Structure 1
Amino acid sequence: MALEFTEANFDELALQSDKPVLVDFWAEWCGPCRMVGPIVEEISKDYEGKAIIGKVNVDENPSISSKYGIRNIPTILFLKNGEVVDKSVGAVPKNILTDKLDAHM
């Protein structure tokens, strides 16, 4: 299951990870986010032990969203060694996300 990133744990779980990290920025009221959510959950199972997969609720964690300039959701950031290495905006198919993640493994 995808991790729930919060302002309290984001640095430790996402930025300090020695594995690639996929971060899904979403909100309850966002229709396209509900389409991407199950895909992110599938990816978290597929990449268990190989990558860190998590979600940030933009309404509950505004400082993370503003730090990364998130203006549209869903936005998915790919982090490696604490740095953004790729991103995807909007509802996209699973293979697009896994291709981007694989590129940073």
Structure 2
Amino acid sequence: MGRKSIDQMSFASVYPLYVAKAKRKGRTKDEVDEIILWLTGYDSASLQKAILDEVTFKEFFAQAPKMNPSRTEIKGVICGVRIEEIEDPLMKEIRYLDKMIDELAKGKKMEKILRG
């Protein structure tokens, strides 16, 4: 069995990893959810439904109610790649989320993470 590409992976399979990373650094699931809701426009109920329905990353971002326009302020390097240089739209959205979760785990204040 080959490896699934990221766009075919279920969001539900990665979500617990985001939460675990945050918790290891003394942060909470609620903070992870707040980041996801800010980024995508989902509300708590629709986020949970997407997780339960095991939508793919591609579907998760395609079905997002309203991607936050301030997400383009997220800059920097994630997994050795500068976010500003990522051309694939889906990968860019995934890396925005990864970067925000990293910032949470590094102890940044929520207002800074949410580009407030």
**Does TM, scored on the shorter chain, surpass 0.5?**
no
Which protein has the larger Cα radius of gyration, Structure 1 or Structure 2? 2
The structure in which a higher percent of residues are strand is 1
Relative to the length of structure 2, the TM-score reads: 0.31
Relative to the length of structure 1, the TM-score reads: 0.33
